[in-house]
């Protein structure tokens, strides 16, 4: 049965409009409604992935260039899965965690609006429509970063909002340029015109604006100023959503979709992606080593792990543009996309563990913690699994995707890049050993003697993410599962039949 | 020059913006922004976009009320103009480079008077041509802009209404008095 | 040339956001950038000597919009986009100003150099 | 803040009806003359802001309290997405299908009458209600905040 695509946006949107009706007394019903919404989003996205449904959905029964259409192909199905996994786990976690804040129904409303914004961006086949839904997800995340109304949180959300609005203005100016030159707003028709008429310097400038705008949203290195402040000051489930999936769905997905499917891959663009990736990797990890605040350390690691994803996709772009064997390019892109979904799982698990530690001990500074191993055994195992995954230790999922990226770099002949990747992965391992040493081993300070383990929904959500970390290695190894989930996403980017498919499918 | 009025109005908006950026007094900065906005709305009227002119003026009034609300009640309306030279020189130079790169780009856009659906209508039947010809028949609305907003691209307007809804709920959250429940668990 | 002046307005807004130290001035910079982008979008759709895309009673005869309107009408699509962009800018302005007020209540100043509790 | 001088109060008590009527006109005739849901909604919010500035916050809060404004805001949004969903569930057509126009009014020549464009006037009204209520809510909050006590008593 074909699932109508607008359901992915309509369900969270309608629930988010209903939820603010419930006041402080009846917030139990609001929490229940919100969880039902995220659960059925998860079920829908799994169903869509299993049946391998692809296709377009014309809104209002208008044909392609006149109305807006929603596009579902391998790449957007993969992103939908990541969004629903992380939002399901974060919603489950926030049932108990958000008791320490007031105005919970409004928090749930904004959370669901962020999810519907991201679903809208991933599904939309129209460039201005992608901008509007990007704006929804960003404004919801600005407000959620400043949810606690403390000194640091307000300053962080102001800095994040200013940079986010500047990025949106760059993107809107780019859309204006693209509309001025090509005359349409639809992805398929724009790429058809670009393939036939070629790129003039107006479109190059528009592409530069898109790279700056979406680079700011994806917090790649030259534009990463807002991320180390925004993520630590957000409440834990929100920072899990932010670095888990928001910078991917809004930043990397949009960048990849525009570069690969619309503007077409060329050697300079590929090298720009590779340099952005390498810069993010190296600078992110070296800034992370010196951090003593647990969540700031995780935020810097998000930047460096995003560098991995962009590097993998960049190597694929360069290999495609040089016309070498597309099998290598698909290997690199497979590594990049697989790392994207892996990173969203283990990074959100790390942020959730930091949230549960912060809730029980009340502080995030590594120096003030210590010896929590016996007091909080479950959180300790979760944190060790996630740290092993992010550092790339074999049985866990992080190892496989980093291995793929290193293999692709070696096969494509960039030995320097492969060496840098391994070095950065080692430094990540060192910094996460430091985290283990200071948080869980060592002597328990007397003031933390009364610390209790977090139980109930927080334990459940962390548990789900932890076993995903272990199981997701199979995504790559087990043939049929890989062809169902990862290969279609890679083919979308490598073969670039995007516009011809859509116009034929009309 | 045939569209002289656009140059005058755009010059007025640019001067208003420059004064707003450089002035020391916050209140006069907000007033200059208001003047620039009204100049922009007049320009929309001359660019044959009455819908946008109405919305721009009215949104401008509310934005001014919000902005003045912030500046007037705060006693300190004068800001200390500390010009740290290095940052200003670097950013002005950087922006100059972007501006020069931008100038060269605009000749690839179709000439000012002819919109894009006229310029490259031979490439493929653009949507705007369809909206103008069949707008009234398809949607029954005489105002084609409203038919585009609420019928052809109604999904955009749903996103639009949600953006406003998110920012209002966000503002309510940020302006609430008690942000944390008194019973602090664990800290 | 008009597009270049519009881009100059965009650059002025960007300059204000990058250089200015006062929070309200940064918000004004973003508002200027929004004006520039809205003006740029509407200028894309202008047709010299054109008329507003609203069909008059006399131009709609027997179910067909007559040719004079089709030749003269301005492009309606950018106007739909700008209507959305204006309301987005109002929404984000409201959120930014409420953040400014709340930080003023906490820090007592709008100057971001003194609000430097966060490093980096 | 007990509002401004008596002159302003008397004038604004008359002008607010005019502004309110103008806002409703802009919303209802949105699909015939320029204007529409957004502009009309903002004009409605302007009429309430006029009362708030002239008569002070307490007076404005009596006839449209904060809770009622946030409820109106949510109902306006729900009506709009409801119109979209009806088009979706109505015999399996697509999400934003203008079902009234395409099914019932397609052949009749109702181009320039008030009830002419199917779901467009309905969604105009829904958007006008939503924009008006939500902008009034923000402005009420912004002005309330300055006096130190915040209106959000219970949450």
Q: Looking at the predicted structure, is the pLDDT value of residue C88 above 90? A: yes
- State the complex-level ipTM: 0.92
The reply to whether A37 falls in a domain is no
The residue range of the domain holding B31 is 1-76
Q: Looking at the predicted structure, is the pLDDT value of residue A40 above 90? A: yes
Structurally, chain D folds into a number of domains equal to 1
The reply to whether D88 falls in a domain is yes
C45 contacts on B by Cβ (under 8 Å)? 47, 49, 115-116, 128
Q: Looking at the predicted structure, is the pLDDT value of residue B148 above 80? A: yes
**Domain-wise residue ranges, chain C:** 21-46+67-120
DSSP-assigned letters across all residues of D68-79:
HHHHHHHHHHHH
C57 contacts on D by Cβ (under 8 Å)? 112
pLDDT the model gives residue A229: 85
Q: In 3-state terms, what secondary structure has residue C118?
A: coil
pLDDT the model gives residue B35: 93
Using one digit for the tens of pLDDT, what is the confidence trace for C12-64?
Answer: 999 898 888 888 889 999 999 999 999 999 988 888 888 888 887 777 766 66
Distance to chain D for B93, nearest Cα, Å: 38
Burial code of A120-152, b = ≥16 C-beta within 10 A, e = fewer? bbbbbbbbbbbbbbbbbbbbbbbbbbbbbbeeb
The residue range of the domain holding D64 is 6-146
The reply to whether A364 falls in a domain is yes
The reply to whether B97 falls in a domain is no
B170 contacts on D by Cβ (under 8 Å)? none
pLDDT the model gives residue B77: 55
H or E element at residue D97: none
Of B161, B175, B178, the CB nearest to D145: B175
**A89: nearest Cα among A483, A463, A442:** A463
Torsion D13-D16-D18-D24 (CA) sign? negative
Stretch A294-317: mean pLDDT, rounded? 90
- The chain-wide mean pLDDT, for chain A, equals 86
Query: Which region among A302-311, B132-141, B165-174, C81-90 has the lowest average model confidence (pLDDT)?
Result: B132-141
Q: Do A129 and B121 touch (CB under 8 A)?
A: no
Task: Please report, for residues A324, A333, A422, the alpha-carbon distance to residue A328 in angstroms, rounded to integers and kept in the order given.
Answer: 8, 9, 19
Interface test with B, best of A66, A126, A207 (most B CBs within 10 A): A66
Using one digit for the tens of pLDDT, what is the confidence trace for B61-103?
Answer: 999 988 888 777 665 556 555 566 677 787 788 888 888 887 8
Non-local CB neighbours of A317 within 8 Å, separated by 6+ positions: A259, A260, A265, A269, A270, A273, A274, A329
Q: Looking at the predicted structure, is the pLDDT value of residue A474 above 60? A: yes
Query: Predicted confidence band at A86 (pLDDT cuts at 50, 70, 90)?
Result: very high
Q: Do C50 and B48 touch (CB under 8 A)?
A: yes
pLDDT the model gives residue D105: 67
Mapped to the 3 state alphabet, what secondary structure does A320-367 carry?
HHCCCCHHHHHHHHHHHHHHHHHHHHHHHHHHHHHHHHHHHHCCCEHH
Non-local CB neighbours of B50 within 8 Å, separated by 6+ positions: B44, C52, C54, D34
pLDDT the model gives residue B92: 81
Angle, helices A479-495/A326-361, rounded to nearest 10 degrees: 110
pLDDT the model gives residue B13: 93
H or E element at residue B5: helix B4-22
Task: Please report, for residues A141, A297, A348, the alpha-carbon distance to residue A242 in angstroms, rounded to integers and kept in the order given.
Answer: 8, 15, 9
The reply to whether B120 falls in a domain is no
Stretch A383-397: mean pLDDT, rounded? 84
* Beta-carbon count within 10 A of B118 CB: 17
Cβ proximity of A41 and A11 under 8 Å? yes
Using one digit for the tens of pLDDT, what is the confidence trace for C91-120?
Answer: 999 999 999 888 888 877 777 777 665 544
| B4 plus B71 within the same structural domain | yes
C13 contacts on B by Cβ (under 8 Å)? 17
The reply to whether B9 falls in a domain is yes
**What CA–CA distance (Å, rounded) separates B158 from A95?**
29
Q: Looking at the predicted structure, is the pLDDT value of residue D8 above 60? A: yes
Of A152, A169, A176, the CB nearest to C33: A169
The reply to whether D135 falls in a domain is yes
* Beta-carbon count within 10 A of A339 CB: 26
Using one digit for the tens of pLDDT, what is the confidence trace for B155-178?
Answer: 889 999 999 999 999 998 888 877
- Which residues are registered as beta bridge partners of B21? none
The residue range of the domain holding A358 is 266-471
The reply to whether D36 falls in a domain is yes
The reply to whether B71 falls in a domain is yes
The reply to whether D138 falls in a domain is yes
The reply to whether A253 falls in a domain is no
The reply to whether D10 falls in a domain is yes
The reply to whether A506 falls in a domain is no
Angle, helices D66-89/A7-18, rounded to nearest 10 degrees: 150
Distance to chain A for B55, nearest Cα, Å: 18
Residue D125 structure tokens: 């009204």
- Cβ–Cβ pairs < 8 A, chains C and D: 26
Q: Do D85 and A14 touch (CB under 8 A)?
A: yes
Does D132 contact chain C (CB < 8 Å)? no
What does pTM read for this prediction? 0.92
The reply to whether D47 falls in a domain is yes
Q: Looking at the predicted structure, is the pLDDT value of residue D151 above 50? A: no
Mapped to the 3 state alphabet, what secondary structure does A481-495 carry?
HHHHHHHHHHHHHHH
Stretch A233-256: mean pLDDT, rounded? 88
Does C32 contact chain A (CB < 8 Å)? no
**C120: nearest Cα among A292, D88, A235:** A292
Q: What is the chain A residue with the closest CA to B147?
A: A67
Q: Looking at the predicted structure, is the pLDDT value of residue B1 above 80? A: no
Q: Looking at the predicted structure, is the pLDDT value of residue B179 above 80? A: no
Of C12, C55, C74, the CB nearest to B14: C12
The reply to whether B26 falls in a domain is yes
C105 contacts on B by Cβ (under 8 Å)? none
Strands C64-65 and C60-61: antiparallel
**C4: nearest Cα among B107, A179, A209:** B107
Of B120, B171, B180, the CB nearest to A148: B180
Structurally, chain B folds into a number of domains equal to 2
Query: Which region among A7-16, A66-75, A109-118, B38-47 has the lowest average model confidence (pLDDT)?
Result: A66-75
The reply to whether A321 falls in a domain is yes
Structurally, chain A folds into a number of domains equal to 1
Query: Predicted confidence band at B182 (pLDDT cuts at 50, 70, 90)?
Result: low
Stretch A315-338: mean pLDDT, rounded? 86
Torsion A363-A366-A370-A376 (CA) sign? positive
Q: Looking at the predicted structure, is the pLDDT value of residue A116 above 90? A: yes
pLDDT the model gives residue D150: 39
Calculate what percentage of chain B has a pLDDT beyond 90: 26
């Amino acid at each position: 049965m074909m699932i109508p695509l607008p359901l992915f946006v309509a369900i969270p949107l309608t629930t988010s409009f209903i939820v603010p009706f419930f006041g402080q007394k009846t917030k139990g019903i609001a929490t229940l409604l919100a969880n039902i919404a995220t659960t059925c989003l998860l079920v829908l996205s799994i169903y869509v992935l299993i049946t391998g449904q692809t296709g377009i959905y014309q809104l209002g029964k208008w044909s392609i260039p006149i109305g807006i259409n929603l596009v579902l192909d391998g790449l957007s199905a993969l992103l939908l899965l990541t969004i629903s996994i992380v939002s399901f786990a974060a919603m489950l976690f926030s049932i108990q965690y958000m008791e320490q804040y007031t105005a919970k129904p409004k928090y749930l409303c904004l959370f669901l609006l962020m999810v519907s914004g991201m679903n809208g961006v991933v599904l939309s086949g129209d460039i201005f429509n992608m901008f509007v839904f990007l704006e929804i997800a960003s404004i919801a995340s600005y407000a959620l970063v400043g949810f606690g109304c403390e000194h640091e949180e307000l300053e962080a959300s102001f800095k994040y909002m200013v940079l986010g609005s500047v990025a949106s203005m760059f993107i809107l100016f780019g859309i204006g340029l693209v509309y001025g030159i090509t005359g349409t707003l639809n992805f398929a028709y724009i790429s058809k015109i670009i393939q036939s008429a070629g790129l003039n310097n107006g479109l190059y400038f528009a592409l530069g604006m898109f790279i700056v705008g979406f680079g700011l949203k994806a917090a790649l290195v030259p534009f990463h100023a807002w991320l180390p402040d925004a993520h630590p000051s957000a409440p834990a489930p929100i920072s899990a959503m932010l670095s888990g999936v928001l910078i991917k769905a809004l930043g990397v997905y949009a960048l990849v979709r525009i570069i690969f499917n619309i503007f077409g891959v060329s050697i300079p663009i590929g090298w720009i992606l590779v340099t952005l990736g390498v810069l993010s990797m190296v600078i992110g990890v070296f800034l992370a080593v010196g951090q003593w605040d647990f969540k700031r350390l995780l935020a810097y690691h998000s930047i460096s792990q995003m560098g991995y994803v962009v590097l993998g996709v960049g190597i694929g772009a360069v290999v495609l543009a040089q016309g070498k064997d597309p099998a290598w390019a698909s290997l690199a892109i497979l590594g990049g996309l697989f790392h994207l979904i892996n990173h969203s799982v283990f990074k959100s698990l790390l942020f959730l563990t930091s949230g549960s530690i912060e809730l029980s001990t009340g502080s995030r500074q590594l120096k003030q913690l210590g010896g929590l191993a016996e007091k909080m055994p479950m959180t300790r195992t979760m944190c060790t699994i996630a740290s092993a995954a992010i550092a790339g230790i074999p049985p866990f999922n992080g190892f496989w995707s980093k291995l793929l990226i290193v293999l692709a770099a070696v096969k494509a002949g960039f030995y320097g890049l492969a060496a840098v990747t391994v070095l950065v992965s080692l430094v990540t391992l060192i910094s996460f050993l430091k985290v283990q040493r200071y948080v869980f081993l060592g002597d328990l300070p007397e003031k933390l003697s009364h610390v209790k383990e977090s139980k109930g929904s927080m334990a459940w959500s962390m548990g789900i993410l932890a076993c995903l970390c272990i199981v997701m290695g199979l995504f790559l190894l087990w043939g049929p599962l890989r062809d169902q989930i990862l290969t279609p996403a890679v083919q979308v980017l490598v073969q670039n039949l995007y516009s011809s498919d859509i116009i034929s499918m009309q | 020059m045939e569209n002289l009025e656009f140059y005058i109005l755009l010059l007025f908006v640019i001067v208003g913006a420059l004064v707003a950026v450089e002035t020391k007094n916050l209140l006069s900065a907000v007033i200059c922004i208001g003047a620039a906005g009204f100049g922009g709305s007049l320009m929309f009227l001359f660019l044959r976009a009455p819908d946008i002119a109405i919305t721009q003026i009215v949104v401008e009034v509310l934005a001014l009320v919000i902005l003045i609300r912030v500046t007037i009640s705060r006693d300190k309306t004068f800001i200390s103009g500390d010009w740290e030279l290095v940052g200003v020189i670097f950013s002005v130079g950087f922006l100059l480079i972007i501006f020069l790169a931008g100038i060269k780009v605009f000749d690839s856009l179709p000439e000012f008077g002819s919109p894009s659906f006229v310029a490259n209508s031979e490439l493929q039947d653009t949507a705007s041509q369809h909206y103008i010809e069949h707008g009234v028949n398809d949607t029954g609305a005489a105002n084609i802009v409203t038919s585009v907003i609420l019928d052809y691209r109604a999904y955009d307007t749903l996103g639009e209404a949600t953006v406003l809804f998110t920012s209002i709920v966000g503002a309510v959250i940020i302006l609430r008095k008690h942000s944390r429940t008194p019973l602090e668990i664990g800290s | 040339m008009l597009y270049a002046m519009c881009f100059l307005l965009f650059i002025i807004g960007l300059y204000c956001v990058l250089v200015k130290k006062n929070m309200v001035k940064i918000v004004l910079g973003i508002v200027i950038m929004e004006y520039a982008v809205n003006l740029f979008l509407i200028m894309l759709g202008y047709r010299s000597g054109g008329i507003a895309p609203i069909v008059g009673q006399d131009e709609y005869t027997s179910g067909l919009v007559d040719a004079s309107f089709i030749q003269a009408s301005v492009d309606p699509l950018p106007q739909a986009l700008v209507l959305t962009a204006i309301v987005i800018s109002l929404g984000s302005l409201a959120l930014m100003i409420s953040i400014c007020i709340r930080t003023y209540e906490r820090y007592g100043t709008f100057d971001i150099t003194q609000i430097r509790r966060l490093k980096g | 803040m007990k509002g401004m001088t008596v002159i302003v109060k008397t004038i604004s008590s008359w002008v607010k009806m005019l502004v309110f009527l103008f806002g409703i006109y802009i919303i209802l005739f949105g699909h015939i003359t320029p204007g529409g849901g957004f502009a009309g909604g903002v004009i409605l919010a302007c009429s309430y802001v006029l009362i708030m500035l002239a008569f002070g916050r307490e007076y404005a809060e009596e006839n449209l309290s904060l809770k009622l404004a946030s409820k109106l805001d949510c109902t306006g949004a729900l009506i709009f997405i409801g119109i979209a969903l009806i088009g979706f569930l109505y015999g399996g057509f697509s999400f934003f299908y203008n079902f009234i126009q395409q099914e019932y009014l397609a052949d009749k020549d109702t181009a320039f009458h008030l009830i002419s464009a199917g779901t467009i006037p309905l969604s105009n009204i829904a958007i006008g209600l939503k924009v008006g209520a939500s902008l009034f809510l923000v402005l009420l909050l912004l002005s309330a905040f300055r006096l130190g006590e915040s209106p959000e008593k219970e949450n």
